[in-house]
A and B are shown apart, each in its own frame.
Chain A
């Protein structure tokens, strides 16, 4: 867990034990030391209590001493100096500074955070309910089932749309190819989290992605059933389209939940932006390809086998009546243009 909040409490009484955290410039924790000594030496040579490898740090850079119930920094006339770099104030020289809980000091290019042992920590973060879902899905058996299911679905879709006779291997090769193609996404996310010094968790990423890919197939089938069973007056298919947006958002949210440590607000923003990029981008591509004038009608020709037929049909009167409205609509358009 990362300590992100630094509460500056001046009245906090200094403890005899001092916690020193070696952190990165982005305040990510590298090492943590807990020292119970009245005088602490920090520098590059080996007699120090905390040895820093930073070449810009002097061999004996600073000492921190517990005097009169207070910790005080002494800079040993170093080449590059020592500074207090708290987020809320301007950077200033650290020599003779009395330490407050949470102070960040910089020496060379390194940063240290100084905390008293009674520093208040963040409340415990409960496991997200998704955690158990992720753990369930990343179980090897569940993962294999989900990937095999995906491959089978891909294969059957290829089979259904091939107008010629095909044998098993002719289906298997493209189906596996498609599965590998889709695996690139979780693999890519895992790679990025590995590169950014987060947990790789490739299995979890694969598990979550394929589970959601399968749900997306399923929602597509639902969408087809909804479109098939409704007339163009019906808005039900629109709702079903909305589920695929939600699924995409969930995928991105889980990917970032598994792969990266970030605040919940930020995670929502990131997943929402990715969803927008995906759907907005594909809409934009469609829009840019749309010709200015289309001499062909654009209609929905979704048909499915009779077992998917769930509604009763309209009669001819109703159809003629609905169709007759199109004449007024197009006439109006013709007059406008």
Chain B
């Protein structure tokens, strides 16, 4: 009993200490925190909100790309405004973006006279250590600036582009807000949440890189800057994937499929083995890249899905098996969301294909659609269905969003040669 009291007391005292510390930090940092609002010019009302923080004396404010993405796509429809802790508002000008890391730099007009007393955030020099207490700042749901204490839990392993795993409740509207350590140095930027106090932050060094590059040479056109970033990122991703080991694993009784051995592609499996009345035994392996680059609310890219399906007829003839099998492969769709303004319609090619090892004979379908704003980038879809066994089938399928021609073809070739019967 005594021990229990002690424990509760300790918890209470530590949390009250944390609150005190948070309050002190908050008061110190408040003047450099802003709410970022996107105002629809026609209606004069805000269409989206987020948070931002000043990182230089000349008025550069960092926020998330997704907070201001509508402005990037439709600069004539919106204007960007800030609201500071004293209730002042003003216009912001977009300076630079990093779509891969979901960062943007905007600039506020600063009176050059009293430059000295302007506060701004300092970026940390070091990464935090695991378990370190951090404080996330932002304006959730337009409720006013708040501070949320939480813990640094290292980098998210499954992410190709680094993200900090932060245990603390980040809510929408806090996007673009800074996360600071006890020394009030920025260690990350709020970007996403998966609910239940699991939050994700962009590491501060990404912001530092973006800012340094901006100081060196501001981008000429945001659209071209985005295109360069997307192309570079898919190059980096695909060369990692193509140069990583592809493990061959069995699927079902006779299928052999490749599993790309990288931490950021995760696989799941399922089958209908428990269903006694199913006419076809099906086993599915599903791998995907946990990455989704936000370009606008209707346009995502950078995702990758791979699916394998092994099917075996139970008590039905080959003809019926193939009829049902065909139904399984008629409705493959894109892996990412994109609309008429962003991409063309798919164009497809199909043929019967047997790899040189002659281990399998497939009907293969390849489809692609081009990006309208980013030349040389495409979404691709591949679907292949084995046609050489009477009562067994192996379907191999992938979609990759935002990839160039060379990488798409290289990946397709390697993928096609890696699927076979044993």
Q: Interface of A with B (CB < 8 Å)? A: 159-161, 163-165, 228-229, 231-233, 292-307, 309, 311-316, 318-320, 322-327, 329-331, 333-335, 337
Number of interface residues of B (CB under 8 A): 66
Pick from B334, B338, B351 the residue with the most CB of A within 10 Å. B351
With contacts A305-B319, A305-B321, A305-B390 taken as known, whether A298 is within 8 angstroms of B356 at the C-beta atoms is: no
Tell me which residues across on chain B come within 8 A of A300, comparing CB atoms.
Answer: 348, 350, 365
Tell me which residues across on chain B come within 8 A of A318, comparing CB atoms.
Answer: 351, 353
B349 touches A305 (CB 8 A): no
With contacts A306-B389, A330-B378, A337-B372 taken as known, whether A297 is within 8 angstroms of B332 at the C-beta atoms is: yes
Pick from B326, B339, B362, B413 the residue with the most CB of A within 10 Å. B326
Tell me which residues across on chain A come within 8 A of B324, comparing CB atoms.
Answer: 160-161, 163
* Main DSSP-derived SS at the A contact region: loop
Tell me which residues across on chain B come within 8 A of A159, comparing CB atoms.
Answer: 320
A316 touches B355 (CB 8 A): yes
> In the docked arrangement, what's the CA distance between A331 and B171, Å?
40
Give chain A nearest CB distance to B342 CB in angstroms: 10
With contacts A159-B320, A305-B321, A305-B390 taken as known, whether A315 is within 8 angstroms of B354 at the C-beta atoms is: yes
**Closest residue to A300 on the B side, CB-wise?**
B350
Give chain A nearest CB distance to B102 CB in angstroms: 24
A315 touches B367 (CB 8 A): no
With contacts A301-B365, A305-B319 taken as known, whether A334 is within 8 angstroms of B372 at the C-beta atoms is: yes
Closest 7 CB pairs of A and B: A297-B346, A231-B351, A293-B340, A330-B370, A297-B367, A160-B323, A313-B354
B385 touches A303 (CB 8 A): yes
**Closest residue to B322 on the A side, CB-wise?**
A305
A299 touches B409 (CB 8 A): no
A327 touches B318 (CB 8 A): no
Give chain B nearest CB distance to A276 CB in angstroms: 28
Tell me which residues across on chain A come within 8 A of B77, comparing CB atoms.
Answer: none
B348 touches A298 (CB 8 A): yes
B345 touches A299 (CB 8 A): no
Tell me which residues across on chain A come within 8 A of B334, comparing CB atoms.
Answer: 295-297
A323 touches B366 (CB 8 A): yes
**Closest residue to B339 on the A side, CB-wise?**
A293
Task: Determine which of A296, A299, A324, A335 lies in contact with B350 in the assembled complex, contact meaning CB atoms within 8 Å.
Answer: A299
With contacts A231-B349, A301-B330, A334-B344 taken as known, whether A313 is within 8 angstroms of B319 at the C-beta atoms is: no
Tell me which residues across on chain A come within 8 A of B371, comparing CB atoms.
Answer: 334
A323 touches B389 (CB 8 A): no
A330 touches B369 (CB 8 A): yes
